[in-house]
Amino acid sequence: MNGGSVDLAVIGVGPAGMSAAITARKHGLSVAIFDEQNSPGGQIYRNITGLGSDRLASILGEDYLAGRPLADAFADSGAIYRAGTTVWRIGEGGVSWISAADSGETAALHVLVATGAMERPFPVKGWTLPGVMTAGAAQILLKTDQTVVDDAVFVGCGPLLYLLAYQYLQAGVRIRALIDTTDKSSHIAALPSLPAALLKPSYLRKGMKMLSAIRRSETPIHRGVTEVDFSGTDRLQAVRWRDRVGEHSIECDHAFVHHGVIPNVNVTMATRCTHRWDEAQTCWRPETDAFGRTSLDWLTVAGDGGGIGGAKSAALSGEIAALGIAYDLGRIDRSAFDRASGRLLSKRRRDLAVRPFLDRLYRPAPRFRAPVDDEVVVCRCEEVRREQLAKAVQEGCPGPNQLKSFTRAGMGPCQGRMCGHTVVETIAQLSGRSPQDVGYYRIRMPIKPVTVGEIAGLTASQGEPS
């Protein structure tokens, strides 16, 4: 087989994937690791090995630079690293992949999915307009190429939105306004989780520092925002919002939206391992034990793809998962496993202490998760509006898969990534069922679109099949 045979195949070279590879190699496992990007780091440490500029390094800050030693250790780990490579099929026994130059299948005794998080959909009117992009996207532009834009409006809530605003201010890039959708009631609702969060005060301290820097800047901040939409002909021209006082709008060319991150579940869903609806994080996640073991004995999940915990927890869960795999494959004995994992598990527990507080404080209001306006495009690829979903649900459509058949929501090239959660929460809201009961799309192979020729196993140099 072109692609060889290893003990462990890892998908994703973010903090979880890198540390899993390092740990697995330490215990003598052969590892092949795959990632779509051309350099390691995942989204959080994107371009960590290619950052040329000291100024950019200081703008991105020490939390970002923490990825450097990890990437260095990963480079020395001896794992087979396939950069710029898309895994399109995953199953018991290994993975199928393609890259610009090559394609193949890699056999593996075990597979670890470390595909991380993606930003929650932001389904409001006009979110498909050119000029509207996620805060994460804007941060990737900053990290990879120092690409920025002046006078963007920041819309939404959550740590990443404020972090980007802070980094923009550090870089001297003008921000038109911050339109904060943090639910007023969340401040009170999050209070019970505050004592636990204070066990790990560094996160809160950093958060306060960012927020006060934004407040001290000249950036106009609008709080208590309950509705948002975007308008324009052929591209973004204005953002409109509503608060307790009434309706407001400003003209702008660019908006960065953010309502937190959710596990990128397409890969794990495609394996059909068991998933659960996580009500605290309002998202689907694969059901795992502390070591990331799923309902399938050949599959483990580490990092934010198994539930949102942030970069440090992701790195720890990569180590923990790799230990579990090494133990399950008989490469380390029980006492070594217990010793190493006990320490890591308690470290991760401490790191996660802040999470319930953040989850509750920045939980997007229901109307931002399941739009109530019929005109809102829910499925961007097939341009399916909320109205079409509501009509199908009204006719008794039993769940997201029949809905997909009837409306085409989820049938486009993004394979349901951008609409899955919205569709589920919309069905739940309209039918009075829980998201867990509603279920999710059945995600199919290929995990990412690949050409017919690539599935046929033809490489660019090969001619016609005979």
Contacts of 57 (CB under 8 A, 6+ apart): 51, 64, 65
CA dist., res. 170 & res. 32, Å (int): 38
Provide the minimum distance between the beta carbon of 359 and other proteins in the complex, in angstroms, as a whole number.
22
Cβ proximity to other proteins, 185 vs 405, nearer residue: 405
Cβ proximity to other proteins, 65 vs 211, nearer residue: 65
Provide the minimum distance between the beta carbon of 272 and other proteins in the complex, in angstroms, as a whole number.
8
| Contact range with other proteins by CB under 8 A, out of 50-58, 63-71, 219-227, 292-300 | 50-58
Contacts of 15 (CB under 8 A, 6+ apart): 42, 44, 45, 67, 70, 303, 311, 312, 314, 315, 318
Type of residue numbered 401: N
- The SS3 assignment for 429 reads helix
Give the footprint of other proteins on residues 157-216 (CB under 8 A).
171, 173
- Residue 248 as a binder of other proteins (CB under 8 A): the answer is no
Per the listing, tokens 């059901």 go with: 287
Give the footprint of other proteins on residues 81-110 (CB under 8 A).
84, 89, 91, 96, 100, 105
Give the footprint of other proteins on residues 367-406 (CB under 8 A).
380-383, 392, 395-402, 405-406
* Residues facing 278 on adjacent strands: 283
Cβ proximity to other proteins, 50 vs 342, nearer residue: 50
Provide the minimum distance between the beta carbon of 25 and other proteins in the complex, in angstroms, as a whole number.
26
| Contact range with other proteins by CB under 8 A, out of 185-193, 244-252, 294-302, 412-420 | 412-420
Q: Is 116 left (phi over 0), alpha (psi -120 to 50) or beta?
A: left
Cβ proximity to other proteins, 109 vs 409, nearer residue: 409
Number of residues that bind other proteins (CB under 8 A): 86
Give the footprint of other proteins on residues 256-285 (CB under 8 A).
264
Give the footprint of other proteins on residues 318-347 (CB under 8 A).
none
| Residue of 132, 239, 267, 344 that binds other proteins (CB under 8 A) | 132
CA dist., res. 99 & res. 285, Å (int): 28
What is the rounded (10 degree) CA torsion for 418, 381, 46, 131? -100
The dihedral through the CA atoms of 389, 392, 393, 394 has a sign that is positive
- Other residues' Cβ atoms within 10 Å of the Cβ of residue 364: 21
Cβ proximity to other proteins, 48 vs 438, nearer residue: 438
Contact 103, 2 (CB under 8 A): yes
Give the footprint of other proteins on residues 432-451 (CB under 8 A).
438-439, 442, 444-446, 448-451
- Residue 54 as a binder of other proteins (CB under 8 A): the answer is no
C-alpha closest to that of 409 among 390, 431, 396, 394: 390
- Residue 148 as a binder of other proteins (CB under 8 A): the answer is yes
Cβ proximity to other proteins, 224 vs 439, nearer residue: 439
CA dist., res. 112 & res. 293, Å (int): 9
Contacts of 187 (CB under 8 A, 6+ apart): 361
Cβ proximity to other proteins, 247 vs 464, nearer residue: 464
Provide the minimum distance between the beta carbon of 451 and other proteins in the complex, in angstroms, as a whole number.
5
CA dist., res. 146 & res. 138, Å (int): 10
